[in-house]
A and B are shown apart, each in its own frame.
Chain A
Amino acid sequence: MSQRGIVASLSLLAILLVAGIVHIASLLVLPRVAPDDAFARLAAVTPEGSVSVLARGGSAKAALPGRDPSLATAVCRYDLDRGPLRVSAALGDEAFVALTLHSRSGVAFYGLNDRSGNEGRLELVVMTGAQLDEARSRDAADAPVRDVRVAAPQPQGFVMFDVLPRIGGEVEARRALASMSCRVEHAP
């Protein structure tokens, strides 16, 4: 092979290497910099730290794309830098109910459905890793911990409460969504 050919093929190899690195890097960076991710879309229509009922999926008013139109959804956007978040919702006789924790970009990192209800409620506490360590250090040795504690991968995210009502269940869905609460727990 001539020197020219070697140089050309080495250049091509270098281009492919750079392209591969750029491709992987851009994939990994995108979730951190995307301007229109689920959190940003919710931020435009919901306040932080309180429950909002979302417009049904599939309509032009829907805040998030691609949601099931049969679902009634309430959402609570959180920032754990203000403190751990206690989320709670009552279970009725809906067809299906789920409480799901999502990080900023929409990744579901924890979820409960009505199978894991306790005394007619779904309840959990979302924390950062540091807050979880702190809470553990405060735990009394003799008192059992009753809370379901979940460590979030990022301080910002949102909780979704999805309700599938039975037939004709718009009223039922509203009532179920109204039972959701989320509040910041301040350290004692």
Chain B
Amino acid sequence: MIGVADEPADVDGRVPPRERGARSDPALPGGGVLAIAVVGLALGLAATAIVLGRGWDPGAVAVGPWVTHPRIGTPSIDPYARAELARSGAVPMASSEGLSFAATTDDTGYRLVSTCTYRLSGAVPPARFWTLTATDRAGLTLGGDAGRSAFTSTTVIRDASGGFVIEAGPEARPGNWMALSGDGPLTLTLRLYDTPLTGDTGEIASAALPGITRESCGGPG
């Protein structure tokens, strides 16, 4: 197996020394150097594939279950986020547009699933406009074409104090109901348009974002 391993699956691609005879010393020139090069190459590519596959990014900031990438919409984007954009074909929200937060777990750290019902309550950081969207991992909206899979700062019904409660689940609820469909992982995305939070990591870490609590699970069954 001499061909350059392109896929990370070939981590175990140890190359047997081609010269016979040279025994006892494990790191002779030739076979040993080649083995080091190939194993190093495979490990390096595997690290890249794993890191990008998991979406790890040193520039990410977590606020409770919500994760944002403050520099992703700026020219000073870090190399990991830049490589991930190129791989996925995604276009980030520019810092002149605002900031986007994504949650894949609830407040207690359990994965969000679209068969469960969740309650989102609390405040949204200052912004001219915000949208909240329920999607699957690939970014496709859940809830069919009824248009019930997104809320915006103008469509949400607020209580007397200006706060709101949104219930996201497969079964219809009174009030702010966000429809969920399917039975896979769920991603909630909160996008703040024209917010003073952009570009200031310290402010973001202390921002007040809606809490996500699981109310019930199991779906209609």
Contacts and interface: CB of A to CB of B under 8 A. Distances in A.
Q: Tell me if chain B binds chain A.
A: yes
A60 B136 CA distance: 12
B39 interface: yes
A105 B43 contact: no
Contact of A65 (B47, B83, B88, B93): B88
Contact of B86 (A14, A23, A105, A160): A105
Interface string B164-191: 0000000000000000000000000101
Nearest to A101: B94
Contacts of B210: none
Interface string B27-57: 1000010001101110111011000000000
Given A11-B26, A26-B44, A106-B85, A69 B133 contact: yes
A66 interface: yes
A111 B94 contact: yes
A22 B43 contact: yes
B197 interface: no
B75 A26 contact: no
B133 A18 contact: no
The prevalent SS among residues of B at the interface is: mixed
Interface residues of A, number: 61
Contact of A113 (B27, B77, B97, B135): B97
Interface string B120-154: 00000000110101010011110000000110101
Contact of A167 (B92, B140, B150, B154): B154
A27 B79 contact: yes
Given A11-B27, A30-B83, A95-B129, A41 B140 contact: no
A115 B91 contact: no
B40 A41 contact: no
B135 to A, nearest CB: 6
Q: Would you call the interface of chain A mostly helix, strand, loop, or mixed?
A: mixed
B12 interface: no
Interface string A74-109: 000000000000000000000110101010011111
Given A11-B32, A26-B45, A108-B95, A113 B194 contact: yes
Interface in A11-64: 11, 14-28, 30-31, 34, 36-38, 40-41, 57-60, 62, 64
A166 B154 contact: yes
B7 interface: no
Interface string A160-188: 10101011000000000000000000000
Q: Which of B26, B96, B140, B155 has the most CB of A within 10 A?
A: B96
Contacts of A62: 139
Contact of B154 (A19, A58, A68, A95): A95
Given A11-B32, A19-B43, A106-B85, A65 B90 contact: yes
B151 to A, nearest CB: 9
A85 B140 CA distance: 33
A11 to B, nearest CB: 5
A164 B129 contact: yes
Given A21-B40, A60-B140, 5 more contacts: A65-B89, A65-B90, A66-B135, A69-B149, A95-B154
5 contacts: A14-B40, A15-B36, A17-B40, A19-B43, A95-B128
Among all A-B residue pairs, the 3 with the closest Cβ atoms: A18-B40, A22-B44, A111-B96
Interface of B: 25-27, 32, 36-37, 39-41, 43-45, 47-48, 73-75, 77, 79-80, 82-83, 85-97, 128-129, 131, 133, 135, 138-141, 149-150, 152, 154-155, 189, 191, 193-194
